[in-house]
């Protein structure tokens, strides 16, 4: 079973924030698969369904971004999930807004959620889908990167964000059905405008 872990912060005040892109993607997935999130046996919400006969689990950690690894470890243990059956979806302030990058493994790249997952799983060998959030507004008028990632997207960014979220949803479904390598070949690269 493929488990897709969307990273974000659970309070309503963070809905629509740049840092909650992972939550937004798994919410779109749940909607498209007509499944609902329920409390899991741990610090997460989980929704289970299938896509073209392939079983799929969606996860939203409730631990806040910096402790996302707790939920990832709980999922791995409870469902006996191999590392390559996890797909972590998160924001990336180093990628241009709208760009997607799917990788089989790698470092945390300065992302606290990925850092926590690497720490709790004791491995960097899990796939991740990074969704670009960098823009001209990246640090303009901001006192810190934390302030930037917790802010909502600007109105003029929303069409590109909506397109990115939709493509990320499709990429997750492709991973579940077609596998990581084929999906990487389809989505990695610049956004075509």
Q: Is the distance from CB of 170 to CB of 129 less than 8 angstroms? A: no
Relative to beta strand 38-39, strand 2-6 is unpaired
68 contacts 61 by C-beta, under 8 angstroms: yes
Query: What is the distance between the terminal CA atoms of the chain, rounded to a whole angstrom?
Result: 34
Per annotation, catalytic residue among 19, 54, 111, 120: 19
- d(CA 23, CA 35) in angstroms, rounded, equals 15
19 is known as an active-site residue: yes
Find tokens 């929303």 and name the residue: 158
Q: Measure the CA–CA gap between 179 and 181, rounded to whole angstroms.
A: 6
Active site residues: 19
């Amino acid at each position: 079973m493929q488990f897709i872990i969307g990273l974000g912060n659970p309070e309503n005040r963070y809905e629509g924030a740049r840092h909650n892109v992972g939550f937004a993607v798994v919410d779109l997935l749940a909607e498209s698969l007509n499944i609902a999130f329920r409390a899991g046996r741990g610090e997460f919400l989980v929704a289970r369904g299938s896509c073209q006969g392939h079983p799929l689990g969606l996860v939203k950690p409730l631990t806040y971004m910096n402790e996302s690894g707790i939920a990832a470890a709980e999922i791995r243990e409870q469902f006996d999930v191999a590392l390559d059956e996890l797909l972590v979806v998160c924001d990336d302030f180093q990628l241009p807004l709208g760009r997607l990058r799917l990788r089989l493994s790698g470092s945390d790249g300065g992302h606290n959620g990925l850092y926590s997952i690497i720490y709790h799983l004791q491995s960097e060998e899990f796939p991740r889908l990074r969704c670009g959030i960098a823009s001209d507004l990246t640090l303009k008028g901001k006192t810190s990167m934390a302030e930037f990632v917790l802010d909502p997207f600007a109105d003029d960014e929303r069409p590109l964000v909506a397109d990115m979220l939709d493509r990320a949803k499709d990429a997750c479904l492709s991973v579940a059905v077609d596998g990581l390598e084929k999906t990487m070949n389809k989505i990695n690269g610049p956004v075509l405008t």
